[in-house]
Amino acid sequence: MESLIHTLSWISTALQVPVVVAILYLLARGLIALGDFFGRWSDRMHRARSIGQGTSTLAHVPANELVDLLASASPGKTDTLRVALEALRQAPADATWHERVVTEFELAADRRLALFRTMTRIGPLLGLMGTLIPLGPALVALAAGDIAVLARKMEVAFATTVVGLVIGAIGFLLHQAAQRWAMDDLSLLEFASARLQGRSHGDAS
């Protein structure tokens, strides 16, 4: 029985370094994503000023001009909405092609959200693991009267808890904003798709 307990203790202690590395990695990704968030927020403010505050201002814009307006209002050449709009124009009357473009846009949006979901769920979990792992050695140090080791282990435990919660908070906030943006972009894409197909059907008739 003692050998099993020592084995579990050894495994737990061995996990401390990977857990800390994972926490630092997610924190770095979160800070990078936070910087990218402000860049995308600025781009969206530029788009809002270019096209107005709602699709009602676009209701009477001709279909081709609508696509041009939405594409030009997206500053980045790699902006997913801009890329999708350009793809729609390749076959404006093909409903199957439009459905494929919209589906690919939704998949791309979901891939962007995956990181934020991971941060929201895994960040606090890693923080909890980083808290519990040092507690075993800390209790051993307490029993041996080694206050210095006890203090160091408790410092690691509390630090990983705080950082894990920060990662979860960043992931949650970014996920909420990115999800709203994705829904807004999807709405504009579907609106443009319907207008293009409506124009094409009108021309055909």
Of 129, 127, 134, the C-alpha closest to 162 is 127
Planar angle of CA 41, 46, 49, nearest 5 degrees: 125
Per-residue model confidence (pLDDT) at position 76: 64
Of 183, 106, 204, the C-alpha closest to 196 is 204
Of the CA atoms within 13 Å of residue 154, those in its CB half-sphere come to 11
Higher pLDDT, 20 or 85: 20
Query: In the chain, where are the structural domains located?
Result: 2-204
Could you tell me how many residues make up the chain?
205
**124 Cβ contact partners less than 8 Å away, ≥ 6 residues apart:** 164, 165, 167, 168
Lowest-pLDDT range, 4-13, 22-31, 177-186?
Answer: 4-13
Lowest-pLDDT range, 47-56, 60-69, 168-177, 179-188?
Answer: 47-56
Per-residue model confidence (pLDDT) at position 52: 62
pLDDT digits (tens, 9 = 90+) for 23-71: 999 999 999 999 989 888 888 887 777 776 555 566 667 766 777 777 7
CA of 54: how far to CAs of 45, 70, 196, in Å? 13, 12, 19
Query: Taking the model in full, what pTM does it have?
Result: 0.80
Of 52, 59, 55, 101, the C-alpha closest to 80 is 101
Of 80, 71, 84, the C-alpha closest to 112 is 80
| Banded pLDDT at 201 (limits 50, 70, 90) | very low
Q: Which two tokens stand for residue 175?
A: 């996920």
The mean pLDDT value of the chain amounts to 84
Per-residue model confidence (pLDDT) at position 202: 46
| Banded pLDDT at 77 (limits 50, 70, 90) | low
Q: CA 117: distance to chain centroid?
A: 7
- Is residue 201 within 8 Å of 96, Cβ to Cβ? no
